[in-house]
Amino acid sequence: MDICKIHENASKCSVNTMECFMVLRTQAQKISIATLCGLFGTLCIFENSLVLYLIFSSPRTRRKPSYLFISSLALADILASIIFVCSFVNFHVFNETDFSKETFLLQLGGVNTSFSASLSSLLLTALDRYISISRPSEYKLLMTRKRTWIALGVLWVTCATIASLPLLGWNCCTLDSTCSELFPFVDENYLSSWICFIMVLLGCIIYAYAHVLWRAHQHVAYMEKHQVGKQNTRMRMDVMLAKTLVMVLTVLTLCWSPVLVLMIYSIFARLSNHLRKAFAFCSTLCLLNSMVNPIIYALRSKELYSSLRMVFSRFRRQRKASEESPEAESTHKSSVIET
């Protein structure tokens, strides 16, 4: 019997069948995946760590709900990059199979939790901006720090719970059900449910940002019609806001669509080896999304950008002082000798 027929009950839950999911056969493919993961992962960790430092080093920014949501996004992206890169490279590049079903599902749960928390943080950020533009007079009453922390707590607990369901028993080995062709031990019904969860998150994010963009456009049209601060309005129109939102929706669509389309296709039809290889490469786009998030959400903020400039200027002053100190010391010594 072919070991790669993962739908056969006799072999679908064997550890050896994980070799069937190692679709990268050539050295060039493995080097390409390792390079992409290493590059995206390193930049993702650096950028998001910088964002967390900039937010929590300033008492002003760490108290604002919008920056707390961005902090949650940065933390989720850091965890996603670490867990995803380590497990993905270990599995597809080094072809490690010396672990149990529980260990694999624990790693998969960590990846799902971090990516789900990243998207959920994007949703909370979108809702925060939705409320700020649709109900500006009530924003401070609605978005208190207490409600912000409660929302973040619910977010992380929900994502961790959903991601841990396969480890807790919702897998094709325990249920003796149909396994996914993309993930070992994962039940197809669970995969369908997780896809629906992610699709709902993406749909809500797109709706919220589309509404924000529409309201901003309405505001600018009203201000131009009544000739109120026409030039200032056109500058604030959220040319900045519009560009940011278009970037958000474009990046989300480009990074998540290929993975979700292949996941959905795998539920209704058998995947060829070429499509499974394509899925492996498309998975790195989710990591790319985590790398781009800090640029879109955080470093385009005027407050964080000014904080970043202060950090760099402080670093330059310290470096300049350290370079000048030996010269000053040598000058002092020479003057002592002359005396």
pLDDT of residue 69: 93
Q: Express each pLDDT in 153-206 by its tens digit.
A: 999 999 999 999 999 999 988 888 888 888 989 999 999 999 999 999 999 988
Look at residue 173 and tell me if it is in a domain: yes
Q: Rounded distance, CA 119 to CA 200, Å?
A: 10
| 311 within a domain of the structure (yes/no) | no
What residues are paired with 186 via a beta bridge? 171
Answer yes or no: is 208 within a domain.
Answer: yes
- Give residue 74's domain range: 25-302
Q: Quick check: helix, strand or coil at residue 229? A: coil
Q: Which of 52, 201, 188, 216 is nearest to 129 (CA)?
A: 216
Residue 96 lies in a domain: yes
Residue 244: which pLDDT band, with cuts at 50, 70 and 90?
A: confident
In this structure, is residue 153 part of a structural domain?
A: yes
In a domain, 65, yes or no: yes
In a domain, 11, yes or no: no
Give the DSSP H or E segment for 176: none
How many separate domains does the chain show? 1
Tens digits of per-residue pLDDT, 13-69? Answer: 665 567 788 888 889 999 999 999 999 999 999 999 999 998 988 888 888 888 999
Task: For residue 113, give the 3-state DSSP assignment.
Answer: helix
Q: Which CATH number belongs to the domain containing residue 113 in this structure? A: 1.20.1070.10
Q: Measured at the alpha carbon of residue 115, what is the angle toward residues 68 and 98, in degrees to the nearest 5? A: 135
DSSP of 49-89, one letter per residue? HHHHHHHHT-HHHHTSHHHHHHHHHHHHHHHHHHHHHHHHH
Per-residue b/e over 48-86, b at no fewer than 16 CB within 10 Å? bebbbebbeebeebeebbbbbbbbbbbbbbbbbbebbbe
